[in-house]
């Protein structure tokens, strides 16, 4: 349960003094009106100012009308359907005001259906490219049919102020590898709630990769609805001056004999670069045989950065395989630098080596070679900028 | 033939009570192929000498010089010193998260020689150096020093010494914390590097034990920030018999 000792790292606080709400008691609703106006006094929003949301907390948002393109192998269908029609809304209900605003104001939903038993190495791609800063709403529903095995990349670029809800159904025995990449231009704000439901013996690998955007806040929720399923929630982020990158993964162990692994790593560089990681795991009374571990690590490369990191574990049964967490945020250490320099490596190269090694480990877990290459290059560019 | 000269070196560190002088005028000359043992009690400044030569920013040189073949080492950055041929095997190597041993070794070798080593011969060189030091092959994929035992860390330091082929190696209490088997393995590594490339060695140690395996040409006794006595290997034998009491009480 304790963080492994690592040089130059400080252990996380266990939420001392913070009123912790029981995760299962949290309000869920598709109605914006059910949620109060956002203020810093609310636990869900305590790490940012409402004006950073650039209007996403309003009651009325525009329907997202910028470019959404998609492609995929045969056996994958894409269709815009009315958000009032099934299966939209069957996986999860919003847990916060911005998500509810997105939910209510997106009248249509992009329904992506992977046929049963489809096994394909060709990636499914959804590319969202914005060129407007008006606050808007988008809803996506991804359905991975029984026994299917696919990979999906959801990419966000350009300028956008977006409330996005993504529902993910992983049917019995299905496997899906999903990457949500946020590489927005300056001036963008993106708040996205992912709701994943894992049915019997299914597997979801879910990676959040956040690099560009003034504000990016992703809340992936994975709920086990059948026994024997497994989820990997991974995240990688790099916050530069003025950026706020927030991740709030939640694993709801609501079925027995399921396994979850949560691994988020981030680096921060530049004045007022801010990252937040709140990792919730709930093991319900029914979830005997649960095996869970969550980890968050942050590397502070310069002064003036801030990384908040809070793991929360609620356990309602003692009959589990294992439950643990580790969280630590540390500086890029002078002693690391000295050690590498003492082997002839220049200070710039030393920083590059450490940061890339630290973050690429998470990117490699996606097992998508083209993405690993492009994100590694992206990180190198960012490091060279400093 | 290279020569490393330390002349009248004075070094201070900043403390809460202000600057504290640790080295008080050290003179030492090492030539290629020579093995010098620096011995002394705790707190005598042995490690400070090692770190000062390597250029650790914590140690401020207030007077004196360090010259490598006449070049002013004190004007060089830490990485420049390493590229000039100085190597420090550290007493407490730090863990570097996210950087694998193989990536680290290749990057360091590239930095030292100025070009990336040819992959095929490099992999072979690394493997045989690891075999010699009885380092398991899985080490390559582990992060630098992360989760290494004390003995593994020291063997990893000597692995770097053998692969990077410096002109002068400073071994800062490389023997501390090692059992006899590990001590032999590490000593053999130092002797191999010494024989292979006419390496000059500055061996810093608290105990005489390692001198049974690495034979010094010169022994210097370090007390209160300077060299109190110098001699040949016989001085180490005398220290083994008498300890440091004679110097400390004097």
Q: Which two tokens stand for residue B232?
A: 């040949």
Quote the Cα angle for B72-B75-B80, to 5°.
95
3-class secondary structure, A103: helix
The percent of residues above 70 in pLDDT, for chain A, comes to: 94
Predicted local distance difference test score (pLDDT) of residue A21: 58
Cα–Cα dist A214/A212, whole Å: 7
Under an 8 A CB cutoff, do A343 and B112 touch? Answer: yes
Nearest chain A residue (CA) to B100: A357
Residue in A223, A169, A236 with CA at minimum distance from that of residue A371? A236
| B143 contact residues in A (CB cutoff 8 A) | 357
Contact flag A349-B107 (C-beta cutoff 8 Å): yes
Q: What span, in angstroms and rounded, lies between the C-alpha atoms of A268 and A273?
A: 6
For residue B164, the chain A residues in CB contact (below 8 A) are: 343-344
Q: Does residue A288 contact residue A323 with C-beta atoms inside 8 Å?
A: no
Kindly tell me if the per-residue pLDDT of A372 is higher than 70: yes
A338–B56 CB contact, under 8 Å: yes
Among the partner-chain residues A8, A343, A354, the one whose CB lies closest to the CB of B160 is A343
> Taking the domains of chain B in order of start, what are their residue ranges?
3-249
- Distance between CA A233 and CA A282 in Å, rounded? 14
Render pLDDT for B140-195 as a digit per residue (tens, 0 to 9): 989 899 889 999 999 999 999 999 999 999 999 999 989 999 999 999 999 999 99
Asked if A361 lies within 8 A of B98 by C-beta distance, the reply is yes
SS3 A338: helix
**Lowest-pLDDT range of A61-70, A240-249, B135-144:** B135-144
Q: Which two tokens stand for residue B172?
A: 């800062």
Contact status, residue A290 vs residue A251, Cβ threshold 8 Å: no
Does residue A351 have a pLDDT over 50?
yes
Assess whether the previous peptide bond of A87 is cis (omega < 30° from 0).
Answer: yes
SS (H, E, C) chain B: CCEEEEEEEEEEEEECCEEEEEEEEEEEEEECCCEEEEECCCCCCHHHHHHHHHCCCCEEEEEEEEEECCEEHHHCCHHHHHHHCEEEECCCCCCCCCCEHHHHHHHHHHHHHCCCCCHHHHHHHHHHHHHHCCCCHHHHHCECCCCCCHHHHHHHHHHHHHHHCCCEEEEECCCCCCCHHHHHHHHHHHHHHHHHHCCEEEEEECCCHHHHCCCCCEEEEEECCEEEEEECHHHHHHHHHHCCHHHHHC
The pLDDT value given to residue A23: 79
Task: State the Cα–Cα distance between residues A161 and A214, nearest whole angstrom.
Answer: 10
What's the whole-number mean pLDDT along residues A131-148? Answer: 97
pLDDT in tens, A25-74: 889 999 999 999 999 999 899 999 999 999 999 999 999 999 999 999 99
- Do the Cβ atoms of A343 and B95 come within 8 Å? no
pLDDT at position A2: 37
- Output the pLDDT for position A18: 44
Nearest to A363 by CA among A162, A189, A219, A153: A153
Residue A3 has pLDDT above 50, yes or no: no
The pLDDT of residue B66 is 98
- Of chain B residues 127-156, which have a CB less than 8 A from chain A? 143-144, 146
What distance separates the 2 farthest-apart alpha carbons in chain B?
Answer: 58
Average pLDDT value for chain A: 92
**Each residue of A320-349: pLDDT tens digit?**
999 999 998 888 778 889 999 999 999 989
pLDDT given for residue A316 in this prediction: 93
d(CA B200, CA A222): 60
| pLDDT score at A62 | 97
Number of A/B CB contacts below 8 angstroms equals: 85
Q: Which CATH class is domain B3-249?
A: alpha beta
Q: Is the pLDDT of residue A166 over 60?
A: yes
CA distance linking residue A132 with residue B67, whole number of Å: 62
Best A339, A349, A358, A364 member to test B by mutation, with max B CBs in 10 Å, is: A339
Distance between B51 CA and the closest CA of chain A, angstroms: 10
- State the Cα torsion B123-B126-B130-B136 to the nearest 10°: -40
Question: Among residues A61, A67, A192, which one has the least CA distance to residue A126?
Answer: A67
Residues of chain A positioned with their CB less than 8 A from the CB of B160: 343
Four-CA torsion A11, A17, A22, A27, nearest 10 degrees = -110
pLDDT in tens, B183-232: 999 999 999 999 999 999 999 998 889 999 999 999 999 999 999 999 99
Q: What percent of chain A has pLDDT over 90?
A: 84
Tens digit of each residue's pLDDT (9 = 90 or more) over B74-121: 999 999 999 999 999 999 999 887 788 999 999 999 999 999 999 999
- Whether A336 contacts chain B with CB within 8 A: yes
In whole numbers, what is the pLDDT of chain B averaged over residues? 94
Q: Which of residues 89-108 of B touch A (CB under 8 A)?
A: 90, 93-100, 103-104, 107-108
What's the confidence (pLDDT) of residue B105? 97
Place A5 in a pLDDT band, splitting at 50, 70 and 90.
very low
Question: Could you tell me which of A194, A196, A234, A190 has the C-alpha nearest to residue A214?
Answer: A190
pLDDT-based confidence at residue B244 (cuts at 50, 70, 90): confident
Contacts by B229-235, CB closer than 8 A, 24 or more apart: none
Phi then psi for A31, rounded to 5 degrees? -100, 120
* Contact: B95, A7; criterion CB under 8 Å: yes
Is residue B203 a contact partner of residue B171, using CB atoms and an 8 Å limit? yes
Task: Tell me if A343 and B54 make a contact (CB, 8 A cut-off).
Answer: no
At which residue do the structure tokens 């977006």 appear?
A: A162
Buried b (16+ CB within 10 A) or exposed e, B7-41: eebbbbeeeeeeeeebbeebebebebebbbbbbbb
A287 phi and psi angles, rounded to 5 deg: -90, 55
Q: What is the structure's pLDDT at A386?
A: 64
Per-residue model confidence as pLDDT tens digits over A206-216? 999 999 999 99
The confidence score (pLDDT) of residue A255 equals 97
* Averaged pLDDT, A128-140: 97
CB A30 within 8 A of CB A100: yes
Which positions in chain B touch A356 (Cβ < 8 Å)? Answer: 98
The model's pLDDT over A267-323, given as tens digits with 9 standing for 90+, comes to 999 999 999 999 999 999 999 999 999 999 999 988 999 999 999 999 999 899 999
């Amino acid at each position: 349960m304790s963080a492994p000792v690592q040089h130059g790292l400080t252990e996380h606080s266990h939420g001392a003094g913070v009123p912790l709400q029981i995760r299962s008691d949290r309000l869920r609703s598709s109605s914006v009106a059910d949620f109060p106006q956002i203020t810093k006094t609310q636990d869900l929003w305590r790490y940012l100012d409402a004006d950073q949301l650039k209007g996403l907390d309003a009651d009325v948002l525009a329907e997202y009308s910028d470019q959404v393109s998609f492609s995929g192998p045969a056996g994958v269908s894409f269709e815009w359907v009315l958000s009032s029609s099934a299966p939209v809304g069957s996986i999860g209900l919003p847990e916060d005001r911005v998500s509810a605003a997105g939910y209510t104001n997106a009248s249509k939903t992009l329904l992506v259906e992977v046929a049963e038993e489809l096994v394909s190495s060709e990636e499914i791609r959804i590319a969202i490219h914005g060129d407007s800063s008006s606050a808007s709403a988008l809803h996506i529903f991804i359905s991975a049919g029984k026994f299917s095995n696919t990979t999906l990349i959801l990419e966000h670029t350009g300028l956008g102020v977006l409330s996005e809800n993504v529902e993910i159904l992983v049917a019995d025995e299905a496997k899906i590898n999903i990457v949500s990449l946020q590489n927005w231009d300056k001036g963008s704000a993106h708040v996205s709630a992912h709701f994943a439901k894992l049915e019997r013996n299914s597997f979801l690998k879910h990676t959040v990769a956040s690099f560009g955007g003034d504000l990016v806040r992703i809340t992936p929720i994975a709920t086990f609805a059948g026994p024997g399923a497994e989820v990997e929630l991974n995240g990688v982020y790099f916050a530069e001056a003025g950026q706020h990158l927030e991740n709030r993964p939640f694993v709801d162990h609501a079925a027995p004999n399921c396994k979850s692994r949560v691994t988020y790593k981030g680096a921060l560089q530049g004045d007022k670069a801010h990252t937040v990681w709140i990792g919730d795991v709930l093991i319900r009374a029914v979830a005997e045989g649960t095996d869970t571990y969550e980890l968050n690590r942050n590397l502070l490369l310069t002064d003036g950065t801030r990384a908040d990191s809070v793991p929360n574990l609620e356990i309602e049964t003692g009959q589990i395989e294992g439950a643990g967490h580790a969280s630590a945020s540390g500086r890029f250490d002078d002693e690391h630098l000295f050690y590498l320099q003492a082997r002839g490596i220049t200070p710039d190269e030393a920083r590059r080596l450490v940061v890339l090694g630290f973050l690429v480990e998470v990117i490699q877990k996606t097992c998508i070679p083209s993405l690993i290459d492009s994100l590694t290059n992206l990180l190198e560019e960012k490091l060279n900028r400093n | 033939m290279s020569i490393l000269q330390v002349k009248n070196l004075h070094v201070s560190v900043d403390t809460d009570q202000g600057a504290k002088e640790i080295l008080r005028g050290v003179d030492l000359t090492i030539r290629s192929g020579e093995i010098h043992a620096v011995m002394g009690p705790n707190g005598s400044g042995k490690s400070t000498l090692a770190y000062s030569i390597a250029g650790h920013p914590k140690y401020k040189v207030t007077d004196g010089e360090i010259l490598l073949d006449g070049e002013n080492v004190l004007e060089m950055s830490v990485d420049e010193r390493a590229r000039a041929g100085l190597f420090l095997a550290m007493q407490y190597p730090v863990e570097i998260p996210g950087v694998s041993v193989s990536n680290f070794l290749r990057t360091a070798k590239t930095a030292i020689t100025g070009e990336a080593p040819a992959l095929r011969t490099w992999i072979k060189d690394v493997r045989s150096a690891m075999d010699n030091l009885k380092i398991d092959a899985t080490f390559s994929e582990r992060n630098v020093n992360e989760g290494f035992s004390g003995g593994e860390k020291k063997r990893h330091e000597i692995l770097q010494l053998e692969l990077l082929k410096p002109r002068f190696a400073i071994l800062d209490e490389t023997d501390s914390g090692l059992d006899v088997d590990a001590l032999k393995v590490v000593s053999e590594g130092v002797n191999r590097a010494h024989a292979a490339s006419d390496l000059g060695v500055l061996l810093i140690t608290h105990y005489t034990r390692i001198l049974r395996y690495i034979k010094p040409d010169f022994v210097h006794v370090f007390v209160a920030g300077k060299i109190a006595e110098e001699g040949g290997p016989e001085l180490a034998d005398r220290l083994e018999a008498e300890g440091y009491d004679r110097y400390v009480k004097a």
